[in-house]
Structure 1
Amino acid sequence: MTGSGSAVPRQFSFTTRAYMAVDDATGEPIGLDDVDTRVRWLLDLIAAAGGELVSRLWRPATFDVLAAGRDRQDRRLPAQGHVAAARLGWDPHYPDGAYVPSRVTRVVTAQVMATLRTLTYRDTAITALSQRFDPATGRLTAPTEPGDYVPSGFARGVRRQLAARARRDGGAPAGRVRITDLQGPPQTSAMARLSAADRQLAQITAADRELVLTVKLPTSPAPAGRAQWRRVRLTAAIPAHLCGRPVIDWHLPTLVLDRKGLLWRCAATELVPAGDLDSAAVAVGVDWSPSTLGAAATVADSPDGLVSDYRGFTYDDRGIGIKLARLQAEGQLLHAKAARLTRLAATAPPEVRAQLQAKIAVLDAHRTAVGIKRGRINRELAFHFARQVTDYAANAHAQVIAVEDLTTLETRGHGRVNNNRAAQSARRKAVAALAHTAAGVGIAVVSVPARGSSARCPGCDEPLARPGGYHTAWCPDCRVGGDRDHLAGVNLAKRALLGRNKAARRRGQLPAIRVAEHAPIRRCRDKTGPTPSRPRHRRVRRSLPTAPRRLGVTPKPHVPAPQASVWDTVQPAPPHGDAGSRDTRTSQAPATPVADSPRST
């Protein structure tokens, strides 16, 4: 266990774009449009080969081998995807006459193996659930073994698939049901994960606030030989908010194409302060609220026991949640209209069907644009929330932040619309953003059980009364109460402090406390929590117009300007679009100083 004051490595991601490209052999400049074309040829080769390999391997025997983790000689399969595929003899096929380097084959097999290994868990769960499915009632029986447990949302989706298959087949499914019986092979994304290759295909260096990527790209859609693969040296600026940070390694990026051209999805490793969960004395509990994204409260472990001032912090999104709800309703409306036109087009004459299909394409494009906008707003909202909670915890000198376990948190009882709205909120993004932001200042984030956090008193663990409705809580015995979200934050922080020495750590996941213990929390009259800072927003003019009223004319009612939104406190992204990092930026200087340069030379 690392002690206080030590540093540990952690990875983070960001995006950037190249502003200059040259031929590595001759040094001649290459237009960025030409680079986009050559990258598209590379991605087409990778996507076609990956899709063909997935379709060829989409059979139950593939998932049996991956579930066992053994090859033909009963040796354990290595963790590297391309090495495991080569040992199993799973090689992709390319068009006749096309020459593709072996390092590109590594990229293809690594991406395919990552997809198949992820679906192996789903195949095993579907097989177990199919044995507990009753086609007569359409229900799943209760699991008998602890290993048969799966998340409730996943079980509901599989149950619907099994019920649809039973109706289609006219009876109970025969034998074991596999993932290949319920769905077809997944589509492969057009991307190139260069991290699966070595220096023969790509290498990256960092110097003078620039990243230089040297990668082999084809010079034709179907390269016929080694000479039609040439090295290109791409130069991109390191985002300004990453300059000066203790980055110890820059990793090879993943290349994708979007509407702006070539995009690098990069990763780097930096040193951050080590969080010491075992010796935590002050904790902050974060409760997910249906009215706002979250609320927080602090609990301290003193010699006299656990104390709290019961004064919480409520995150204010400044109306962004209402905007997200409007976009969600708009996306659902577009989906319903497209589904209705699809049903009409199925029985329409050919000339009418063509018109309906054109309208459906427009609706799908609009729905995709709405989804992209929602994702962008959710991301900014999550990291703004993470920065606010991290500052609150740092001001309280907390060593740990406790969040509710999202796998056991399911919205229900608020109606179909509100349940759907809460289910599609940015909670999981907020957890990832909070863990990333808090790790930068040495604060650990753990997940604790969510059941009963807002229903029981932190002092006596008895059910709370609701004298003022849903959002208020009061304990007549302990005589404490207030906002139910703040009391829930106190309970979550208490569970983190009591179970800090029993946290389960799994790779790739937050430390988790499985059991909710109870200890009375004494109300402290002294102020132990920090006062949340209120960012200064733009001044809003609320005075009435001074122009004289015209007789005989009904004046236009004066509507004051709306309040400043959260976007005034989040610094804007650089104009070149290379600020894709999940960190809060500390400078408004553009990340790419030559963003106005022409794309072609």
Structure 2
Amino acid sequence: MANAGYTALRQFSFTTRPYLAVDDITGEPIGLDDVDTRVGWLLDLISGAEAQMLARLWQPATFDVLAAGVDRQGRKLPIQGHVAAARLGWTPHYPDGVYVPSRVTRVVTAQAVATLRTLAYRDTAIASLSARFDPATSRLAAPTTEAEYLPAGFVRGVVRQLTARARREGGALAGRLRITDMQAPPKTSAMARLSAADRQLAHLTVTDTVMTLTVKLPTTVAPTGRAQWRRVRLTAAIPPHLHGRPISEWHLPTLHLDHRGLLLRCAATETVPAADVTSGTCAVGVDWSPATLGAAAITTETPDGLVSDYQGWTYDDRGLGIKLARLQTEGQLLHRKAARLRRLAATAPPEVRAQLDAKIAVLDAHREAVGIKRGKINREMAFHFSSQVTDFAAAAGATVIAVEDLTTLETRGHGRVNNNRAAQSARRQAVDALTHTTAGVGAVVVSVPARGSSAQCPGCNEPLSRPGGYHTAWCSGCKIGGNRDHVAAVNLAKRALLGRGKAVRKRGRNPQIRVVEHAPVRRCRDKMCPTPSRPRHRRVRHSAPAATPPVGVNQTKTVPAPQASVWDTVQPVTPQGTGSREVHTSPTPATSVVGSMRSMQTL
């Protein structure tokens, strides 16, 4: 259970948009379209300098320095990216005659160093794998040290790259390869992380429901002096689900432009009850299911041992999993079409190549739109899943939630299509959402090994049989079984309770349990699993009843009421976690407007 009286800090993010902009000096209002234009100029300067800096630093010496973690004087590199870049002498270059404040340069260097530090791990892994790779057989030699062990999924991807490169070079590789030999410099999205700067560039003021961001923006596409950088006050509303939250600190946002204009990606720190993994006696196991996003079951530690009722709960994705599979297939089809047109355009005449390039641009735009839609659905499903699991654990009094370690979880044996669909599911996003949501109720998420969780009996640890097919499990010795995912969830919860005293904690990660211990889980006939709420789906009409027409007026045209969504429920789920929610008001009923107009005609 949560430590009584103890609190912890939790960071979360949300999005909002400004609805008012004024000049900080004169106080004159500025149109939001003009603000979008000026922010676009700022992002163009930042993204251009960042891309040029990444291309200039894309060499093995850069990753050697980052891997060593020290500068030329042997001092440890600081965590702040812009300070580390200043020590190493990494500075961005801007077009001739363009003046950029030093605080904007901080943003550029901080973003570039963060990208390079992320790729430093991949560079070390590629160098290690290429040294053990045999181009003739496309196989890797066995690792000799513990540092050479890497996740299997990551290894397979690098091996595919090495095999393709060996095929292009005639079946041989030129010694030890680096990331600079395998791929080009990465392309980053246009954004401005204001958190890397100080008050000279931006500062934030927050009241109860409104936040005001004062940021320095250029007044022209190519500013030549300080006078062409002016401060602008942007006023934005704080999302309603954050009102009244115990937020201790608001952080500077990240500026981003999308199809609707300026978007503020904000972050904040709030106080939540502190959770202790070692004191929990009731745990919820969450098994990632191939049929849906996940299933859960409860295991409790009693003086007589571990008990469970083996009655789990399966998440209802409301048909979104089928929609995601359809969107994934559509995106893959668009990708294949664009790739085929690119092959044709490579050898086509100039006039035909222009037509093919136009078609390729349309296909790429459609594929990007499909990806954006998939991202939104994955995010909504992840937070809806996390809220359901949190309610399930809170109703059972569980303060430990065990999830499968995603680094050891691989999908295989279900065919190429189903393996790809399972690999594309939002499991990592669901874990992050679950970590955030459960922290608000004093619970903690623990990662446990996934191997054997659905193949071994929780009671005797023997292999389970499948009398009813893939989705069933039965142990003839213990006489227990049921849904395969529910049995796996019992195993995961058992591993969390047995290994909670040996949990490994790393900065920025959930506690991990790496040792699998066994103890029999006895079936308890008492009801332990709470009954989840299952709201009935029904169609709800949001429109008002049709107005009675005046006497003597014949209605010749019937205007239908707005259609209700098939996902409207009796009790809509309250949004939890990060991200802003926009409240859309119901449209004005068209029937009343028609009736009022006809009334005016009769007067």
1:427 offset after TM fit, Å? 1.1
User: 1:437 matched to which residue of 2?
Assistant: 437
> 1:56/1:566 Cα in 2 relative to 1: closer, same or farther (>3 Å)?
farther
In 1, Cα distance between equivalents of 2:224 and 2:418:
57
Write the letter of the residue equivalent to 2:138. Answer: G
In 2, Cα distance between equivalents of 1:352 and 1:584:
46
Tell me if the contact between 1:320 and 1:565 (Cα under 8 Å) persists in the aligned partners: no
Write the letter of the residue equivalent to 1:158. Answer: V
1:484 offset after TM fit, Å? 0.7
In 2, Cα distance between equivalents of 1:287 and 1:111:
36
> 1:108/1:172 Cα in 2 relative to 1: closer, same or farther (>3 Å)?
same
Verify: 1:176 aligned to 2:165, yes or no: no
> 1:37/1:572 Cα in 2 relative to 1: closer, same or farther (>3 Å)?
farther
In 2, Cα distance between equivalents of 1:39 and 1:64:
35
Tell me if the contact between 2:2 and 2:443 (Cα under 8 Å) persists in the aligned partners: no
In 2, Cα distance between equivalents of 1:177 and 1:343:
28
User: 1:582 matched to which residue of 2?
Assistant: 578
**Please, which runs of 5 or more residues in structure 1 have no aligned partner?**
542-560, 574-578, 591-601
Tell me if the contact between 2:538 and 2:569 (Cα under 8 Å) persists in the aligned partners: no
In 2, Cα distance between equivalents of 1:16 and 1:102:
27
Identity among equivalent positions (%) equals 74
> 1:396/1:76 Cα in 2 relative to 1: closer, same or farther (>3 Å)?
same
Q: Report the 3-state secondary structure (helix = DSSP H, G, I; strand = E; otherwise coil) of the residue aligned with 2:249.
A: strand
User: 1:21 matched to which residue of 2?
Assistant: 21
Q: Report the 3-state secondary structure (helix = DSSP H, G, I; strand = E; otherwise coil) of the residue aligned with 1:307.
A: strand
In 2, Cα distance between equivalents of 1:428 and 1:451:
18
Task: Map 1:94-243 onto structure 2 (within 5 A).
Answer: 94-243=94-243
> 1:522/1:314 Cα in 2 relative to 1: closer, same or farther (>3 Å)?
same
Tell me if the contact between 1:18 and 1:235 (Cα under 8 Å) persists in the aligned partners: yes
> 1:291/1:61 Cα in 2 relative to 1: closer, same or farther (>3 Å)?
same
TM (norm. structure 2) is 0.90
Task: Map 1:405-484 onto structure 2 (within 5 A).
Answer: 405-484=405-484
> 1:71/1:453 Cα in 2 relative to 1: closer, same or farther (>3 Å)?
same
Q: Report the 3-state secondary structure (helix = DSSP H, G, I; strand = E; otherwise coil) of the residue aligned with 1:286.
A: strand
Q: Report the 3-state secondary structure (helix = DSSP H, G, I; strand = E; otherwise coil) of the residue aligned with 2:527.
A: coil
Tell me if the contact between 2:15 and 2:579 (Cα under 8 Å) persists in the aligned partners: no
1:176 offset after TM fit, Å? 2.0
In 2, Cα distance between equivalents of 1:391 and 1:105:
46
Question: Which deviates further from its counterpart, 183-192 or 410-419?
Answer: 183-192
Q: How many residues are paired up?
A: 564
Task: Map 1:143-542 onto structure 2 (within 5 A).
Answer: 143-538=143-538
User: 2:47 matched to which residue of 1?
Assistant: 47
Q: What are the Cα deviations for residues 443-482 of structure 1, in whole angstroms up to 9, with x where unaligned?
A: 1001100001011110000001111111111111110111
Write the letter of the residue equivalent to 2:373. Answer: K
Tell me if the contact between 2:537 and 2:569 (Cα under 8 Å) persists in the aligned partners: no
Write the letter of the residue equivalent to 2:403. Answer: V
Q: Greater relative contact order: 1 or 2 (C-alpha under 8 angstroms, separation 6 or more)?
A: 1
Q: Report the 3-state secondary structure (helix = DSSP H, G, I; strand = E; otherwise coil) of the residue aligned with 1:25.
A: coil
In 2, Cα distance between equivalents of 1:400 and 1:261:
42
1:138 offset after TM fit, Å? 1.1
1:2 offset after TM fit, Å? 8.2
Tell me if the contact between 1:318 and 1:566 (Cα under 8 Å) persists in the aligned partners: no
Write the letter of the residue equivalent to 1:565. Answer: W
Question: Which deviates further from its counterpart, 383-392 or 561-570?
Answer: 561-570
In 1, Cα distance between equivalents of 2:568 and 2:510:
28
In 2, Cα distance between equivalents of 1:321 and 1:403:
20
In 2, Cα distance between equivalents of 1:290 and 1:450:
14
Q: Report the 3-state secondary structure (helix = DSSP H, G, I; strand = E; otherwise coil) of the residue aligned with 1:235.
A: strand
TM (norm. structure 1) is 0.91
Tell me if the contact between 1:92 and 1:108 (Cα under 8 Å) persists in the aligned partners: yes
In 1, Cα distance between equivalents of 2:369 and 2:584:
28
Write the letter of the residue equivalent to 1:521. Answer: V
> 1:188/1:370 Cα in 2 relative to 1: closer, same or farther (>3 Å)?
closer
Question: Which deviates further from its counterpart, 163-172 or 390-399?
Answer: 163-172
1:568 offset after TM fit, Å? 7.8
1:584 offset after TM fit, Å? 9.2
Write the letter of the residue equivalent to 2:285. Answer: G
Q: Report the 3-state secondary structure (helix = DSSP H, G, I; strand = E; otherwise coil) of the residue aligned with 1:3.
A: strand
> 1:382/1:74 Cα in 2 relative to 1: closer, same or farther (>3 Å)?
same
Q: What are the Cα deviations for residues 273-313 of structure 1, in whole angstroms up to 9, with x where unaligned?
A: 11111100100000011111111000000011101111100
1:201 offset after TM fit, Å? 0.5
In 2, Cα distance between equivalents of 1:354 and 1:69:
48
Q: What are the Cα deviations for residues 550-592 of structure 1, in whole angstroms up to 9, with x where unaligned?
A: xxxxxxxxxxx9994388865699xxxxx9x62697x9588xx
Write the letter of the residue equivalent to 2:104. Answer: V
Q: Report the 3-state secondary structure (helix = DSSP H, G, I; strand = E; otherwise coil) of the residue aligned with 1:35.
A: helix
**Please, which runs of 5 or more residues in structure 2 have no aligned partner?**
542-562, 586-603
Verify: 1:73 aligned to 2:73, yes or no: yes
In 2, Cα distance between equivalents of 1:62 and 1:151:
25
In 2, Cα distance between equivalents of 1:60 and 1:180:
7
